[in-house]
């Protein structure tokens, strides 16, 4: 029916197909039935704009379902047809063809083919200057997905990296302890007179830090506004626990119990998480909603904002690995993470390798990235799609500073890091373990080690003196008043944390001045280099 001459028949058939291929398993079956044969024929020979629009909508949907399916869609004929349709006289055909090119480029194997297509990059750059804003945005998006970052920057008049180097902001996880983080960010904004998205080239966050990273960069939000939103999040999401048994245990203690007994693991699986993730997901969808209806991470790449990445833990591969949700693609030629095939679904998944970028993606919606980054075990259910399953990024990188440095090196391999600011959510002083050493439990120690933010700080304090040109600042209050549960909602406890952070800022005022002067100087250098 796709090849029918009747526009209404084609439209109805394509509408049904788009609905069907939204399910990966169904899409895979259709691909095996050679659904691309009639689709390719229409793309190649049809002169009816309405039919092309309907068929392209199917291709756009198919291309984004999974890397496996996207790779099956690409043939020389399809690529040739899409390139021709990118300059079609109908702007909607142009836009959809560009969206299809971009969506196909999410698959690394396809991306290698697309960047090798003669004249495609030049065509995309040319289309970013067309008078139709929908067409030029789709062209810029395709450039971003293909990793043509410098071409994209020039096309949209994006910010240049100062000659002195890259400025990075790294934000720890910590649940409601993140109120300390936002208080420190407010202080930096007050002292510099600038918002975070004006001060940094890359903002990286884990869990709570991931929420902050997205809000400060993609939404260009002030730290003061972010504090209001985050307190509301805490009150809504954590106010009514789903489970009532043993709620006094911390999430690290609950993880320890999972570590010790399989029966406890079954009990948690059967009864679910402490809090209903639906509340959080509704809030995130509202927060992340885009005025154009496009809230995938890569959509923000066409804006003049910092690069941003959110760290989660991928648990659907063994061993578990850090997963980087990002609003950028690595530059052309960056080694890609290899893939493995799921025995259950037959779909492929990326895994990290020491010579490649970390496993990650820029195709997910912003709210999905945040939800995956803050899926703290016991508190919130895991987050999953048709291919992957994620848990809280704090299990792998509660302090994501080193990952942020690696991302900067992959993004700008020829540029040095100038300034690195790492902000924690507060720690408590080291003290004797309750019950004495004979009660020491190996499981608890393993969890504490995995979630520690101090080991990363110690590593950086050891290595960075060998790179004296990197100006490193770590802000993290250490105080008994920072001892707070991840899901704490008592305003009195919040006030203690805020008081501890206020004292920390006052006691380290000169350190804050040095950091802020460094950031302002770097920002001024950028302005003069434009």
Tell me the average confidence (pLDDT) per consecutive run of 10 residues in the chain, 530 residues long: 72 87 89 90 88 94 91 93 96 97 94 94 96 95 96 91 90 94 98 96 96 95 94 85 52 49 41 76 88 85 95 91 95 74 49 64 95 87 87 92 94 94 90 60 54 75 87 95 89 96 97 96 67
Residues 6+ away with beta carbon under 8 Å from 236:
279, 283
The per-residue pLDDT for 258 is 47
The Cα 461–Cα 2 span in angstroms is: 62
Q: Is 305 helix (H, G, I), strand (E, B) or coil?
A: coil
**Dmax (CA) of the chain:** 81
Residues 6+ away with beta carbon under 8 Å from 409:
none
CB atoms within 10 A of CB 7: 14
What kind of architecture, by CATH, is found in domain 7-156? Alpha Horseshoe (1.25)
Residues assigned a catalytic role = 207, 392
Residue 500 in contact with residue 426, Cβ under 8 Å?
yes
The per-residue pLDDT for 454 is 72
What are the residue boundaries of the structural domains of the chain, listed by start? Answer: 7-156, 166-529
Residue 418 in contact with residue 162, Cβ under 8 Å?
yes
Domain 166-529: which CATH class? alpha beta
| φ, ψ for residue 276, nearest 5 deg | -75, 115
* The two domains 7-156 and 166-529 share their CATH topology (first three levels equal): no
Prediction pTM value: 0.88
Q: Tokens 């008078």 belong to which residue? A: 131
The DSSP result for 185-236, as a single string, is: HHHHHHHHTS-HHHH-SEEEEETHHHHHHHHHHTS---HHHHHHHHHHHHHH
Phi-psi region of 426 (alpha: psi -120 to 50; beta: other; left: phi over 0): left
**500 vs 105, 212, 335, 485, 503, CA distance in Å?**
48, 20, 45, 16, 5
The per-residue pLDDT for 340 is 53
The per-residue pLDDT for 526 is 62
């Amino acid at each position: 029916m796709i090849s029918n001459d009747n526009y209404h028949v084609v439209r109805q058939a394509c509408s049904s197909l788009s609905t069907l291929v939204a399910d990966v398993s169904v899409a895979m079956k259709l691909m095996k039935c050679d659904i691309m044969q009639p689709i390719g024929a229409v793309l190649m020979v049809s002169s009816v704009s309405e039919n092309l629009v309907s068929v392209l909508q199917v291709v756009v949907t198919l291309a984004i379902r999974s890397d496996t399916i996207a790779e099956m869609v690409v043939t020389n004929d399809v690529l040739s047809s899409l390139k021709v349709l990118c300059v079609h006289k109908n702007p909607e055909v142009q836009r959809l063809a560009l969206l299809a090119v971009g969506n196909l480029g999410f698959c690394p194997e396809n991306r290698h083919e697309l960047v090798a297509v003669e004249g495609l990059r030049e065509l995309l750059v040319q289309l970013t200057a067309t008078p139709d804003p929908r067409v030029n945005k789709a062209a810029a998006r395709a450039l971003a997905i293909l990793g043509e970052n410098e071409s994209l920057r020039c096309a949209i008049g994006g910010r240049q990296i100062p000659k002195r180097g890259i400025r990075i902001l790294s934000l720890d996880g910590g649940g409601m302890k993140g109120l300390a983080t936002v208080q420190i960010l407010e202080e930096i904004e007050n002292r510099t007179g600038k918002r975070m998205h004006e001060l940094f080239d890359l903002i990286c966050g884990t869990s709570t830090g991931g929420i902050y990273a997205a809000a400060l960069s993609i939404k260009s939000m002030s730290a003061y506004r972010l504090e209001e939103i985050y307190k509301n999040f805490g009150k809504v999401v954590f106010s009514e626990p789903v489970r009532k048994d043993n709620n006094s245990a911390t999430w690290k203690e609950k993880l320890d119990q999972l570590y010790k007994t399989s029966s406890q693991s079954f009990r948690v699986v059967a009864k679910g998480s402490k809090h209903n993730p639906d509340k959080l997901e509704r809030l995130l969808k509202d927060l992340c909603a885009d005025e154009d209806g496009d809230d995938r991470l890569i959509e923000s790449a066409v804006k003049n904002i910092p690069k941003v990445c959110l760290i989660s833990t991928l648990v659907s591969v063994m061993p578990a690995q850090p997963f980087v949700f990002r609003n950028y693609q690595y530059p052309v030629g960056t080694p890609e993470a290899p893939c493995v095939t799921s025995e259950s679904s037959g779909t492929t998944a990326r895994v990290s390798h020491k010579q490649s970028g970390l496993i990650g993606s820029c195709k997910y919606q912003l709210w999905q990235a945040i939800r995956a980054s803050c899926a703290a075990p016991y508190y919130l259910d895991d987050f999953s799609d048709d291919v992957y399953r994620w848990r809280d990024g704090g299990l792998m990188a509660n302090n994501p500073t080193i990952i942020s440095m690696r991302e900067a090196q992959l993004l700008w391999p020829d540029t040095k890091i100038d300034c690195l600011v790492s902000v924690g959510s507060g720690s408590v002083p080291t003290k004797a373990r309750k019950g004495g050493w004979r009660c020491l439990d190996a499981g608890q120690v393993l969890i504490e080690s995995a979630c520690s933010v101090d080991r990363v700080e110690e590593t950086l304090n050891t290595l960075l003196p060998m790179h004296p040109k990197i100006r490193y600042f770590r802000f993290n209050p250490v105080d008994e008043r920072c001892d707070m549960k991840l899901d704490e909602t008592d305003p009195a406890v919040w006030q203690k944390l805020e008081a501890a952070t206020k004292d920390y800022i006052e006691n380290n005022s000169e350190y804050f001045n040095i950091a802020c002067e460094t950031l302002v100087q770097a920002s001024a250098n950028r302005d003069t280099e434009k």
